[in-house]
Structure 1
């Protein structure tokens, strides 16, 4: 007589399960599936993390660019001072949280003239960046915005944004043209190639 392979009771199929064990196995399977679904990321959370990863890649690209040119580069944003704080504050809205989010990514120092600058890095697949993309009353009036796109690395200051200037796909605000930084254009071109490799499918 066929026996259940789990409990030894009668089974219709040789080496199969009895009715009770079969029902239990189906229930366990369903529960496991529900648990997997609950563990998975929501669409909103998935988009948040995807955008965070893109931003981190762009930041690392610019950090390594300045380091390769001998600059002193210091991570400045609160998420670098207190690891995990941005995750903790996700979805929270207050004046304090807004101030934290607006802190520039880096403080960089030119090794030649010792000048120090705030640098905020943004990835823009569209290659566009304007004053409207910043929160109102942005507090770091002397900040530089380095815009990484799929093809170029461009730069604009907060003061220029206030004057109505913008970063567009066709503008010539290339990072290598900023006299304040005195950068080697050949090195920037190398990093532009890195950007193409990292972001071409984004």
Structure 2
């Protein structure tokens, strides 16, 4: 009778394991194989921040804050920009030059209406808190002379007209061109301050 080389129990063949020891050794081999399997290197994400996408997102957030602010102030707010007024036109204008295409690209974001008065509103976000004529006229003269530019910064909501920019004025980080001081609007300064807090919340870390 052959003995198991491990426990001395019965086995069919000399120099072999019994059935129980054979199973134990089989499991050990499986564990060893698993442990020796090379670790897979994690693929690090190569995704980098896209400044254009980041700018678009910031611009959309700024537009939403201004839109909801004017609604809260009792204005009717109508989306007016290029994509809202002429859906799909952006792709058609690629490579197209001329005054018409330029004017379409420069269409203000909103028209706000209250007390039988309407205003063009163009929304801008600037982390620097500055807005100059050169920022507006990168593509030539701005065609909407009656437009008002509402600037969202990390701390304030300011406003300046195109005509004021044309006359040499500008918004700086320290100027007091606050939206609440505009004579065009019967504004609620406390409500504007609340919306400034929203702006701070969204933009303080970007």
Above 0.5 in TM-score? yes
**d(CA) in 2 for partners of 1:191 and 1:84?**
32
Corresponding residue SS for 1:190: helix
Within 5 A, what are the aligned runs for 1:1-202?
46-83=50-87, 85-86=89-90, 88=91, 92=95, 94-95=97-98, 96-110=100-114, 113-135=115-137, 136-202=140-206
Corresponding residue SS for 1:70: coil
**d(CA) in 1 for partners of 2:89 and 2:58?**
18
Shift of 1:14: 7.2
Q: Which runs of 5+ in 2 are unaligned?
A: 1-28, 34-42
Contact 1:89–1:97 (Cα < 8 Å) also in 2? no
Shift of 1:127: 0.2
**d(CA) in 2 for partners of 1:100 and 1:14?**
70
Shift of 1:78: 1.4
Corresponding residue SS for 2:112: strand
**d(CA) in 1 for partners of 2:183 and 2:177?**
11
Shift of 1:93: 5.5
- How many pairs does the alignment contain? 170
- Alignment-derived partner of residue 3 in structure 2: none
Contact 1:127–1:150 (Cα < 8 Å) also in 2? yes
Q: Which runs of 5+ in 1 are unaligned?
A: 1-12, 17-32
Deviations 1:125-171 (A, max 9, x none): 00000101112211000000000000000000000001100000110
Corresponding residue SS for 1:122: strand
Corresponding residue SS for 2:205: coil
Shift of 1:97: 3.8
* Bigger Rg, structure 1 or 2: 2
Shift of 1:91: 6.3
Corresponding residue SS for 1:74: strand
TM-score normalised according to structure 1 size: 0.74
Over the aligned positions, Cα root-mean-square deviation in angstroms equals: 2.9
